[in-house]
Structure 1
Amino acid sequence: MAAGQFDRVADFLNLDHSVRERCKWPKRTLTFSLPVHMDDGRTEVFFGYRVQHHLSRGPVKGGLRFHPNVNVGEVAALAMWMNWKCSLMGLPYGGGKGGITCDPKKLSMTEQERLTRRFAQEITPFIGPEIDVMAPDVGTTAQHMAWILDTYSTHSGRFVPEIVTGKPIELQGSEGRAQATGHGVSFLAARALNKLGLPVQGATAIVQGYGNVGSYVVKTMSAYGIKVLGISDITGAIWNEVGLDAEKLSAHVAQTGGVVGFESAEPIDPDEMLLRECDVLVPAALERVITESNAPNLRCKILAEAANGPTTQPADAIIEKRGDIFLIPDILCNAGGVTVSYFEWVQNLQRFHWTKTEVLTKLEIKLEKAFENLLSFCDRHKCGTRLGALATGVKNVALVKKTRGLFP
């Protein structure tokens, strides 16, 4: 899907063939076998991947995920999207992504530590604060970043906090990092409501996914006065016509492990939930949930893509043809995470610490600028926001490659 999107954008920009090919293919694709001692005495071999899409604009930046379905194709696509995202946001990074094919739910924390440290050991020759900076992703947390930091620092013989972002505060992590993506999604949804002339206070939303991103979307939107009517996660979906109480729901999930069973809501089919009427629909789970089957029946005014690649290309074409849905594309909508990761990296390089208010204020300034630049580009070129966002990102990378030239 990422490659198909790039080809469409390259045709739209009429990129020179030599620059086009250099922009499309990753700089490095790394594959590792990772033998790990398991708790029961066995030795099991896992497989890990890291794709560094481009270093032309700076070190690559992107998460490391633990998931049973991780493969090199998925990682490469996510690295490409991260490249355009960093470019769109004006961050001095290329795109990177990594993953290990495993089910973290079936691994003890000691097994996860051994696996993470083994991956860090194998990838150390290929990373560095000015080469490749990792962060948490699906199935990984600040603790996994702490293990990578410690492994890399041990090899370096000094403390190197800038090697990863999304790490614990006590290891010079950044204030505001945990809620950054969800906060950014909510901020941009509110700006889209403003653009459509709709009030933010009293607007309605549906959120698919209640992980780190979805939970903070619910909390931030509720703080804005947006009523979140429906929420789903791996346990099922719930609905309350007058709006769900964010704080009570958070306590319920912390106690039970899922949204289902929340006493102030009724159960609903997760697929049906996506098709109910609302102002803002937020897919905040995994890829390819908005398809050609359900896209014609969406009843939202704004589609805020908190997840990576939640809309398939056929569905994208349907939404664009409909013309009645304001799309906030994923590479802008969920850019809050990488933007605050950038802030964390900058703080580490300077050995300086910002407050949460400073971080979130700087985040909103960056998002506002990118949002307005995107709308201006779309207005000038008479294109949709998906094409506009990707074209802006690709155009900036292509310009850097053309200006730097090709060595030798």
Structure 2
Amino acid sequence: MDEDHDIFSAEENLYDSVRKNICTCAVDMELTADIEELLKKPMREIHVSIPVRMDNGTIKTFQGFRVQYNNARGPTKGGIRYHPDENADTIRGLAAIMAMKCALNELPLGGAKGGIVCNPKKMSDGETERMSRAYIQALGPFIGPDIDIPAPDVYTDSRIMGWMADEYCKCRGSSHFEVITGKPLSLGGSEGRSTSTARGGWFTVREAAKEMGLELHEVSGHLNENNSGRKKPSVAVQGFGNVGYNAALIGKESYDCRIVALSDSRGGIYNEEGFDPRSVMKYKKENKTLTGYPGSESITNKELLELDVDIMIPAALEHVITDENAGNVKAKIVAEFANGPVTTGGEEILLGKNIHIIPDILCNGGGVIVSYYEMVQNLNMDHWDEDYVNKRLDGKMTRTYNKVLASSKLHSISMRKASYTMALNKLVESMAARGWI
């Protein structure tokens, strides 16, 4: 699964935030009103009702969504979320972010997102599998390797993707594992996919640290704990699911950082000396919570976001840094490993404090990039080793980060505005080439 998280209320929803970013860039790009309107609206939305027989014999109907935002650059691509508070506007916003993310990283893909309103923590494995298969049955005519390719997201994982790929193949009567990414390795999944979002995020943090004069010590393999002659950069990670755990682990083992704070939906823990993420995850699996981890101080998610750290990594859900708490954020770098964790108002405050924000469409692009690599491997009936995958990911994300940074400096604009402008330029270029505009 992707993330444990807290839900933070905000008047502005994610879709509103994305449309504001598009509008701001559209003005500077001098796009006509009709082109701007086209960019702000999803190409297609599918709403489905999913009847599922529960373990007690009753039938429960779940609401599902799939938003295919824009396919000008190729078949749409995006994750599937399971969450009790899921809604169509969040899915629309996330689909738009995926379209921008794919364009920014020059992938031949459009953007999509899907979700089911459910609470997977209160469902058995059998109920989750039946619901997942029923979702694919309902979406069958609207997905495919040349139409729309789903992937895991919040509270979904490689096992669920395996069920979905199998169900699609059954419906088609033939093998098409390339229809889903983030699959188990035994079904054509890619090496490095499970860590790709976090690893890609750290490639951008590494580049941002150079810009901010923050010393990161890049290492290979496990660290020699005696190599501590310098003050290690401090990192707080909000969200300790798949992305958050790997963000903490890579930060410690590959960049020699102190992971001083971690949190999940039940609360957070703090220790100035830093945590061993492996040990914390073992404790969480045994106790179903981070709270009470030996040697830690209990903190709230709100307190974690306001810690005096070098690097803040929001790795849960959207809108956790708002105009209400942004003034208390003290980090030098805010790296958006999650989608949309900073609101428009919150960003203005952070930028006023000279905090370097690595925006989501740049920072967390590693997941969709390696998903694309998985598609390529499947279509070519090939398999790449993890070192090769990571090397290609590093090259692409480093180049993209530095292009965005250069644009940001040249035009004296934020990293987010530079990212969106570059992405929209590529998207508009593809739309024009196809004769849409």
- SS at the partner of 2:367? helix
**Residue deviations 1:173-229 (CA, integer Å, cap 9, x gap):** 011111111111222212211122221131111111100000000000001101111
Which residue does 2:42 correspond to in 1? Answer: 26
AA paired with 2:179?
A: I
AA paired with 2:81?
A: R
Which deviates more, 346-355 or 292-301? 292-301
Which residue does 2:93 correspond to in 1? Answer: 77
Alpha-carbon offset, residue 235 of structure 1: 2.1
Equivalent in 313, 329, 333 of residue 363 of structure 2: 333
Measured in 2, the distance between the counterparts of 1:248 and 1:143 equals: 24
Measured in 2, the distance between the counterparts of 1:50 and 1:43 equals: 22
Q: Which runs of 5+ in 1 are unaligned?
A: none
Conservation of the 8 A alpha-carbon contact between 1:27 and 1:53: yes
Conservation of the 8 A alpha-carbon contact between 2:321 and 2:342: yes
Which residue does 1:14 correspond to in 2? Answer: 30
Which residue does 1:302 correspond to in 2? Answer: 333
Once the two structures are superposed, the pairs formed by residues 369-384 of structure 1 within 5 Å of their partners are: 369-384=399-414
Once the two structures are superposed, the pairs formed by residues 259-270 of structure 1 within 5 Å of their partners are: 259-270=290-301
Alpha-carbon offset, residue 22 of structure 1: 2.1
Which runs of at least 4 in structure 1 moved beyond 6 Å after TM superposition? none
The question of 1:320 aligning with 2:336 is answered no
Once the two structures are superposed, the pairs formed by residues 263-302 of structure 1 within 5 Å of their partners are: 263-302=294-333
AA paired with 2:129?
A: E
**Residue deviations 1:96-152 (CA, integer Å, cap 9, x gap):** 000011111121111111111111011110111011000011111111111111111
Which residue does 2:149 correspond to in 1? Answer: 133
- SS at the partner of 2:55? coil
The question of 1:362 aligning with 2:392 is answered yes
- SS at the partner of 1:278? coil
Which residue does 2:4 correspond to in 1? Answer: none
Which residue does 2:436 correspond to in 1? Answer: 406
RMSD: 1.2
Measured in 2, the distance between the counterparts of 1:251 and 1:111 equals: 26
Equivalent in 32, 42, 52 of residue 68 of structure 2: 52
Which residue does 1:237 correspond to in 2? Answer: 268
- SS at the partner of 1:205? strand
Measured in 1, the distance between the counterparts of 2:49 and 2:160 equals: 18
Measured in 1, the distance between the counterparts of 2:53 and 2:281 equals: 36
Once the two structures are superposed, the pairs formed by residues 214-229 of structure 1 within 5 Å of their partners are: 214-223=244-253, 224-229=255-260
AA paired with 1:19?
A: I
AA paired with 1:170?
A: S
- SS at the partner of 1:300? coil
The question of 1:149 aligning with 2:165 is answered yes
AA paired with 2:148?
A: D
The question of 1:191 aligning with 2:207 is answered yes
Measured in 2, the distance between the counterparts of 1:19 and 1:401 equals: 10
Conservation of the 8 A alpha-carbon contact between 2:22 and 2:39: no
The question of 1:396 aligning with 2:412 is answered no
Q: What's the TM-score, normalizing by structure 2? A: 0.91
AA paired with 2:370?
A: V
Which residue does 2:118 correspond to in 1? Answer: 102
Measured in 2, the distance between the counterparts of 1:134 and 1:264 equals: 41
- SS at the partner of 1:228? strand
**Residue deviations 1:31-62 (CA, integer Å, cap 9, x gap):** 11111111111111111110001111001000
AA paired with 2:31?
A: L
Alpha-carbon offset, residue 316 of structure 1: 1.2
AA paired with 1:355?
A: D
AA paired with 2:349?
A: I
Measured in 2, the distance between the counterparts of 1:368 and 1:291 equals: 28
Which residue does 1:124 correspond to in 2? Answer: 140
Identity of aligned residues (%): 39
Counting matched residue pairs gives 406
Equivalent in 349, 355, 379 of residue 349 of structure 1: 379
- SS at the partner of 1:397? helix
Measured in 1, the distance between the counterparts of 2:412 and 2:153 equals: 35
Measured in 1, the distance between the counterparts of 2:91 and 2:120 equals: 18
- SS at the partner of 1:44? strand
- SS at the partner of 1:86? helix
Measured in 1, the distance between the counterparts of 2:266 and 2:61 equals: 31
Measured in 2, the distance between the counterparts of 1:244 and 1:29 equals: 43
Measured in 1, the distance between the counterparts of 2:210 and 2:436 equals: 44
